[in-house]
Structure 1
Amino acid sequence: MLARPVPLLGLVALGYLALQALLVPADMTLEWDEVVYTSQVAPGVPDAMFSAPRARGVTWLVAPIVQVTTDPVAIRWWMMILAAGGLFLAFLPWTRLLKPTALVLAAGLFATLWVALWYGPQVMPNLYVAFGAVLAIGSLLVVRESPSGWAYAGLAAGFASVAMLRPSDVLWLGVVAGPAALLWRRWAAAATILVAAVVGSVPWVVEAYTSFGSLLQRWAAAGEVQGGIAPAPGFWYEFKAANGPAFCRPCDIPLERPYLLIWWLALPALALVSARRHPVPLLAGLAMAAPYLFLVDYAAPRFLLPAYALLMIPAAATMSRFRPPFAVLLAAYLVVQFTAFQGVKGQDYPLRQFQAAFVQKMIDAGVTRPCTLVGTSVNPAHQFLTGCDVRIVRRGESVAEAAQGLPGVVATLSQKTPPKGAEEWDRHVLASSNGKPTWITMIRPNP
């Protein structure tokens, strides 16, 4: 059994599930982006604003569990299982392309990457873009060697899923896969790539016309949300943030312990060594990294998950050929990834739980449905936890003016002092430091 690639891959996927369950707190509250996606399909939860760059692919992944419960523990376990299954399916075509050692290394190195572990249980699209990209490229290479219905199905599923999750990413994946199919004269594969990418993009395109005016308007709005798509030193920002934080905008953090970032430079270097044997995953990985390294003016390590997944394949092929130093390299890699994971977890988890705790105090103080949160300090996570609608205060408008005509409970959330227009409302301290309030809620008295 252990000499056969498919069971070996299954063991790696189970190990990935076990590591997530062991390392990621299952009670971790959903953060801003997760709530935006989850709220779209959670019954009884107001929809958070769905901005132009977002696509609904990951909302469909979380939809089954939130029909039953919005408990974070259940959501985390659901996403962990999906992530482990996604890893298995993504690398399944590669069982026909790689030797067992290289296969286990590629899937295992990706599964132990701190970013893949941290985002495995989260409702975020980037990990599944990575799985779709690996599935697509592997299926394309199988089609080249021995076309079959299953290989074409994997190719279509890979491209369609990437398009449904992040339509912009499918363009960069297609830049490599499309010309490769044409170069090999695999016309059916080229057609499959085009059709799958178009079909997967249909929901995003339709929504562009129904909610944003047109496709061009949505594309422009998406660029504005990203801070403008233009030449930027994203490479430097992603390098500094390679071991955390999870989000770096503006990315003006100092470069600390650069020796722990060697893995980030070593990965493409190891992949390049096997460029002649595995050119397509190498080029696809570099292409999918390009917009985030050169066109985005901030960093989020999750953006590079598709590139990491693809580059792991030629890198693993290289490592499997140099066995004596392999154990040392692997041990160093695992130590760095575990250290980075603990650092990000130590930053993010307490902040999320702190937020959940003070929102629970709001609920205990009487902020229950039907309710509206009014102000500028409210984020989608507060909305999700309370189940309240949100009314943003416009410039020059007071909270009292914004609250006029709103039914049910109306409350604000602010730091230290009440917002203008809510000074006479009922005051409740949500958090304090050294005996002084740091977060308060003001609740409108019953009329």
Structure 2
Amino acid sequence: MSLSESDLRAAIAREMPGVRADLERLVRIPGIAFEGFDHTQVERSAEAVAELLRGCDLDTQIVRHGGQPAVIGRRPAPPGAPTVLLYAHHDVQPTGDVSRWTSDPFEPVERDGRLYGRGAVDDKAGVMAHVAALRAYGDQLPVGVVVFVEGEEEYGSDSLNDILAAHTDELRSDVIVIADSGNWDIGQPALTTSLRGLVNLFVEVKVLRSAVHSGMFGGPLPDALMTLARLLATLHDDQGEVAVDGLIGREGASVDYPEDRFRHEGGVLDGVRLIGKGSITDRCWTKPAISVLGIDAPRTFEAANALQPTAKAKIGVRVAPGDDPKSVYAAVRSHLEKFVSWGAHVEVTLESDGNPCVIDATGPAYDAARAAFASAWDGVAPVDMGVGGSIPFIATFQELFPQAAILVTGVEDPQSGAHGPDESLHLGEFERVCVAEALLLRNVAEALTS
């Protein structure tokens, strides 16, 4: 006999103090998979997650295939019931400049109903939402469950394909819940149905064999920084639209994103105009975007009166759903090679790429999810939203498990500040997320059990 909605709500309320305590323990572990950080902390994080899953009576193992440790926990399905894969990741972003944090990034602190700390929302709260749902059911779980918690998502998931290939049979499922996105607003749940892809590349210009005196040679000679700046400026037209031929984009996002809200959430300074054309949701979700992420150049206080011989920039391209990262890279490379000024030598190299994705969010699993979200948010139906960021492995899951329904959910809200200073989790919304996941498992069981 399945638990009723009131039973599940009561169970989640009962479990929330312990769930929060365990979340805070996870936040205190600085599990950063980037090069140059202490990877024993990622190991600690994986062990802590494995312990949590074992506490939910899951058969649990820590796995790795050339990268950081992931955790897989399994509980078989009752006869005729479906299996649900619950994904999250336990690694976190570096903190950046710690002086920009109001409190210690790895010491969780509550302020005004939000829990602050690195990973408090992205994505250790995702881990704990899965744990909360499992604890709510105890030994009455109506579906089979595979919990897959990755250990290097923030660093690019380099070993993920190898892990998936080695553990395909263990991860095979009917429904996949990826708890690494967010909701449209506080009090407004959402399912993510599209994400942009990503191409990161480097462009380097060279004009001289070595630096030379800016007074003796300045005038006839172009310096590398000026040449690079001129080249980067060609990536956009005067309105800020991407000016690279061959990139795909589309319009027609169904959700309105008011400009005042966007400016507030983006921290836009007064007087700074937005760039590009079309609705804000189109510009963020369904059209390509190009950003200059960094430049290798002398720092101003170290700069000599010399013409720089070389300059290098890192460029990030967000790939619209429906486009191909390989063709996007080729188009941007061709553009840079074509528009470099004054005969400067230019070299373009690819750092990494990832596929965009579009999810056809129709069918019984999606109906089950929408009903669960509407119940958890007391009658507020979820919206379907896009995300301008990238989770390239979703396309990998689509290829590997083509019959599975993929539900992209999450615990973030527009004030969460993931990847930035003072990252935080709205505790009231977090409880709703936990209720929604518990209801989702029940609804999926009822919809898909044969």
Report TM bin, short chain. Answer: under 0.3
Tell me the TM-score normalized by structure 1: 0.28
Compare relative contact order (CA 8 Å, sep 6+) and give the higher one, 1 or 2.
2
Higher strand proportion: 2
